[in-house]
Amino acid sequence: EVQLVESGGGLVQPGRSLKLSCLASGFTFSNYGMNWIRQAPGKGLEWVASISSSSSYIYYADTVKGRFTISRDNAKNTLYLQMTSLRSEDTALYYCARHDVGSYGFDYWGQGVMVTVSS
């Protein structure tokens, strides 16, 4: 069974940093591209970043470029999101999701981890 489990969220002050993790199981992690998507309270979905299977290709939303870094460790089956210079508008539920090779269908999602940026 495919599982994606996020961790590392919490309450953090503006300007500080936080690192999210997404532990994958039930599939060959190194064969799939991965993504972070966030959802502010009561709002819609916002794509944050994507990374290819071998980390050769990385893309960011303009709203996080220069502040967030997506990475992965295929030996540990883990996806990361390093978040720095956090702002109140980064407050959201952060999901990791796998995308299918070829179709880019985001076919499996984690349960999400909450990040609250507040003083």
Partner 1 sequence: DIVMTQGVLPNPVPSGESASITCRSSKSLVYKDGKTYLNWFLQRPGQSPQLLTYWMSTRASGVSDRFSGSGSGTYFTLKISRVRAEDAGVYYCQQVREYPRTFGSGTKLEIK
**Burial of 45 per CB tally in 10 Å (0-12, 13-18, 19+):** middle
User: Exactly one of 1, 13, 44, 75 binds partner 1 (CB under 8 A); which one?
Assistant: 44
Contacts to partner 1 from residues 51-110, by CB under 8 A: 59-62, 95, 97, 99-100, 103-107, 109-110
Smaller CB distance to partner 1: residue 73 or 107? 107
79 touches 13 (CB < 8 A): no
Cα–Cα distance measured from residue 69 to residue 80, given in angstroms and rounded to the nearest whole number = 8
Smaller CB distance to partner 1: residue 3 or 16? 3
Taking the complex as a whole, the smallest distance from the CB of residue 90 to partner 1 amounts, in Å, to 16
Binding footprint of partner 1 on the chain (CB under 8 A): 35, 37, 44-47, 50, 59-62, 95, 97, 99-100, 103-107, 109-112
